[in-house]
Amino acid sequence: MACRVCDREHQVMSRFWTKTVSDLTPYVPGEQPSSPTLLKLNTNEHALPPSDAVMAAVHSSQAEQLRRYPDPTAKGLIEAIAETESLATDQVFVGNGSDEVLAHIWLSLLADRPVQTLDTTYGFYPVWAQLYQSTLTEVPVLANFRVDVDALMASPHAVVLANPNAPTGLALSRQEIERLLADNPNRLHVVDEAYYGFGAESVAPLIDRYDNLIVSRSLSKSHALAGLRVGYALAQRELIEGLNRVKDSFNSYPLDAVAQAAAKVAILDAPWQAHSAAVITESRKRMAEGLEALGFEVLPSSANFVFTQHPALSGRMLFDGLRQQDILVRRWDRPRVEQWLRITVGTLAQTASLLAACASLCPSEDD
């Protein structure tokens, strides 16, 4: 049977597979359909195109740049990130998307150890825990999806958190995360800030004071560069050196020359970031208000998506109904979230289309 999402045959097995590979349950990314008519609100790509300056950097790449190996240290990009974050260059690590950065964090700092995360969070964490043989405890979120910081604090085990959380969009304040950091200096905290830039507070300013903190970031969402594959980590230099040891034992050139050049321009393009974040924030507000007017419950989001459910309509029915109208959103067949949809915030026009489609699926007054 072929998998609808990834097109791969699922029944295939080989006696040559290692035990680790046989036992794995790989992460399934959101669908990347080829149909151009589909309104794609399922993988939290940015609604706007990347900045003109980034496109100019992509177009100006030279044959010589491609003939040679890229800079294995990604010096220019790391300097730009360090400058933007007021950190030293040895406090920055870059990788091929933040998924790769997180995988390296896992192998260098979490493998073979007990780790705690939330029962409602990014679906890749249990996969890395399995791949790198960590014992994972999934701490339940509270009834309203709020993170139970006290429950995390009750254990000495390393904590992996997405902030804002996925798929809820709820953010912890810097102060709440600092409470965790200060509570136990021997507990490591990985804070995945993949949705940084849409309103949540970052904990990056705490790095100089806490050596038990590592932050990961992505250019996929905030900078509209999901296709370029660039992510980075920020931490004190000892943790970053651990990541570099893994990287140089895995792939010395994770970022190609074009990605390094374009990502550097993106990081330094503050006016584009301010403008695009304002567009998304406004569209998110309209989406939340529009959904609430139709009777949906919408969690307060600090990301470029909203998490929503309707008291009278099942998650599956809504997902299928939107799909029939050529709108693709994300839904998981998992306890706690099966009634909920995660909808990427599009442009104002796309949000209007989404709201019209939702209205057509809602019970009308006279039914």
Ligand X SMILES: *Cc1c(COP(=O)(O)O)cnc(C)c1O
Instruction: Write the binding mask 19 to 48 for ligand X: x where contact by CB under 6 A, - elsewhere.
Output: ------------------------------
Which range touches ligand X (CB under 6 A), out of 108-116, 146-154, 218-226, 269-277?
Answer: 218-226
Give the residue, chosen from 39, 80, 120, 122, that forms a contact with ligand X under the rule CB under 6 A: 122
Applying the rule CB under 6 A, the residues between 147 and 166 that interact with ligand X are 162, 166
Q: Identify which range of 69-77, 93-101, 176-184, 263-271 contacts ligand X by CB under 6 A.
A: 93-101
In angstroms, give the least distance from the CB of 120 to ligand X: 12
| Residue from 192, 201, 256, 269 in contact with ligand X (CB under 6 A) | 192
- Note whether 97 binds ligand X by CB under 6 A: yes
Task: Kindly report the number of other CB atoms within 10 A of residue 230's CB atom.
Answer: 31
Q: Which residue of 141, 159, 226, 327 would you call a contact of ligand X, by CB under 6 A? A: 226
Q: Could you count the other beta carbons within 10 Å of the beta carbon of residue 252?
A: 11
Question: How far is it, in rounded angstroms, from Cα 94 to Cα 333?
Answer: 33
Nearer to ligand X, 160 or 358 (CB): 160
Q: How many residues bind ligand X (CB under 6 A)?
A: 12
Site for ligand X contains 117 (CB under 6 A)? no
Element counts in the chain: helices (H) and strands (E) = 13, 12
- Order of strands across the sheet that contains 341-344: 297-298, 305-309, 341-344
**Spatial CA neighbour of 346 closest among 322, 324, 316, 314:** 322
Nearest CB to ligand X, comparing residues 99 and 269: 99
Residue identified by tokens 């403008």 is 275
Q: From edge to edge, which strands make up the β-sheet containing 231-235? A: 92-95, 231-235, 213-218, 189-193, 158-162, 114-118, 135-139
Query: Which residue is associated with the tokens 């709201």?
Result: 355
Helix, coil or strand: residue 14: coil
Selected range binding ligand X among 33-41, 73-81, 97-105, 277-285, rule: CB under 6 A: 97-105
Beta strands in the chain (DSSP E): 39-40, 92-95, 114-118, 135-139, 158-162, 189-193, 213-218, 231-235, 297-298, 305-309, 327-328, 341-344
User: At closest approach, how far in Å is the CB of 129 from ligand X?
Assistant: 14
Three-state SS at 162: strand
Residue 231 or 290 having the CB closest to ligand X: 231
Q: Residue from 108, 117, 202, 220 that binds ligand X (CB under 6 A)?
A: 220
Q: Find the shortest distance in angstroms from Cβ 58 to ligand X.
A: 17
Measured CA to CA, the distance from residue 275 to residue 367 in angstroms comes to 43
The answer to whether residue 98 forms part of the interface with ligand X (CB under 6 A) is yes
Given 120, 218, 236, 351, the residue binding ligand X (CB under 6 A)? 218
Q: If DSSP codes are grouped into helix, strand and coil, which group holds residue 32?
A: coil
Shortest CB 230 distance to ligand X, Å: 7
Report the SS3 class of residue 189.
strand
Task: Select 107 or 194, whichever has its Cβ closest to ligand X.
Answer: 194
Q: Residue 310 or 331: which CB sits closer to ligand X?
A: 331
Q: How far is the CB of 101 from ligand X (least distance, A)?
A: 7
Binding site for ligand X (CB under 6 A): 97-99, 122, 162, 166, 192, 194, 218, 220, 226, 231
